[in-house]
Amino acid sequence: MPPGFTLDQPVVKKNRPTFPKIGLDPTEGMSGMQKFNAGVGKAFVDIGRGAAQMVGQGPDAAQTQENRALDRPLMNTGAGMSGNVAGNISMLAPLAVVPGGATVAGAGTMGALAGALQPTEGVQERLGNMGTGLALGAGTQAAVGPGARALGEWGAGREQAAAMRQSQNSVRDATLKAGQEAGYVVPPSNINPSAANKIIESIGGRAATTQAASFRNQEVTNRLAAEALGMPKGAPLSESGLESYRKSVAQPYRDVAALSQRAQIALEQLKDARFNANNYTKFYSRSGDPNALAAATNFRQKADALETSLEGFAQNANKPDLIEALRKARTQIAKSYDVERALNVGSGDVSARLLGSALDKGRPLTGELATAGRFSEAFPTVTQNMAGKQAPGVSNTTAILSALLGGAGGATFGPGGVAAAALPLARGPARSLALQLGKSVKPDYTVGGGTKAAAALADPETRRRVAMMARALMLPSVPQLTGAE
């Protein structure tokens, strides 16, 4: 042993090449993807260097310092740092399936191991890295674990609530779809209360928008009632008109009455029973008198029995086609009475709300009348009786407010400020837009991407992976935290 030489004296490798510090940035000219790939490679190289050092191989302290200096420009770029994180995640991924890895102790152990595998300038720094890795691993698991679990429960709860709303609203949504196909409209915020829909209706006025929808829907109800009876489009509805309609479709009854005197007597009795049943039903709708309801039910049952009797006369006469014609005529006549009971005799409008009330009371409405009745039951605010009411937008306040805003705007901002007078005039177009959207608005039961991501954390395996990723994100900062950089 040479004089003055001791075992703990570092060996200086005189022939090791050195790199002149000429102030050049090695990442200059590299694309973002090249920097990212270089960052990934650095992660793998660092683990290899650290592992080699642990078995007495690998770079010494001076080489480690020099490697860090060379890598620093790369790690100062976002792409390089991102690649380094991605490389660390890919290397730590197998540790996610280690039993106990999702516990605080297990995560701390893996963090210490990851810290130990970082290249260092000596044993003291390695121990510091291991301690930092232990703290980061255990800390991220302790923080991310309960936090991720709580976030997952929140997200899963939001998803379950949305699914429950969709299930609970399934009947309403089916009614909405059928109503929209028939031409009905609903203010869009009633179905999908998005910020945009609320703003549009706020500009147009919520009450005025609802009122405009009722006016438009009344036209739809009148049309559906006429279609249910097979009447021409635009045909007015009135008591006399409905009576004429019944006479026009009652030819099969006249045909069966011509078969015999008994059949003729049965037909006259049927007319009386129908007339009384209809009148008592109208009276019950106005008064709620249970005696009127009982009388209406009795006359309706009598009418049903007489209908069966008339079919018997046709059958005895061996006229099966007449039986079928009687049944079709009976259906149309029954519909005409349903329309008449819901008719406003003064305006000629058919009340969708009265049709809905008939459904509630067990009246077997079908087709167009059932569509109108169900829609009114689901959306009563937009099927109001608008007879005698003023159309929305007809108001002196709009003109007055327009004049005030225009004057104030002109006085404050000059000629350009006069444009403020147009703001109240935007109400009408906003209402029109809202009703246009109301023709096809659909309920939205989807949850946002953030909620879906949070709900995924309800899965323990996903939480383990998130904790692993959190530790991998921290790994590049281990040298900085220990003061090695």
Instruction: State residue 342's pLDDT score.
Output: 92
Residue of 385, 410, 468 lying closest to 113 (CA atoms): 468
pLDDT band of residue 480 (cuts 50, 70, 90) is: very low
Q: Report which of residues 8 and 298 the model is more confident about.
A: 298
Instruction: State residue 73's pLDDT score.
Output: 85
Instruction: State residue 432's pLDDT score.
Output: 85
Q: Report which of residues 19 and 461 the model is more confident about.
A: 461
The SS3 of residue 103 is coil
What are the start-end ranges of the H helices in 342-459? 352-360, 367-378, 396-413, 427-438, 449-456
Structural contact between residues 201 and 216, judged by C-beta atoms closer than 8 angstroms: no
Across the range 32-49, mean pLDDT stands at: 84
pLDDT band of residue 407 (cuts 50, 70, 90) is: low
Instruction: State residue 450's pLDDT score.
Output: 78
Q: 250-259, 430-439, 442-451 — which one is most confidently predicted on average?
A: 250-259
DSSP, residue by residue, 214-233: HHHHHHHHHHHHHHHHTPPT
Question: From CA 377, how far away is CA 79, in angstroms rounded?
Answer: 59
If you average pLDDT over every residue of the chain, what do you get? 79
Structural contact between residues 467 and 141, judged by C-beta atoms closer than 8 angstroms: yes
* Backbone phi and psi for residue 392, each to the nearest 5 degrees, phi listed first: -65, 145
Structural contact between residues 116 and 54, judged by C-beta atoms closer than 8 angstroms: yes
Instruction: State residue 481's pLDDT score.
Output: 46
Structural contact between residues 274 and 330, judged by C-beta atoms closer than 8 angstroms: no
Question: Of all helices (H) and strands (E), which one includes residue 396?
Answer: helix 396-413
* Backbone phi and psi for residue 11, each to the nearest 5 degrees, phi listed first: -90, 130
Would you state the structure tokens that stand for residue 280, as one six-digit string?
């008592």
Q: Report which of residues 424 and 435 the model is more confident about.
A: 435
pLDDT at 131 over 90: no
Counting Cβ atoms within 10 Å, is residue 5 exposed (0-12), middle (13-18) or buried (19+)? exposed
What are the start-end ranges of the H helices in 169-260? 170-182, 188-191, 195-204, 206-229, 239-249, 251-257
Would you state the structure tokens that stand for residue 173, as one six-digit string?
């949504």
Instruction: State residue 204's pLDDT score.
Output: 79
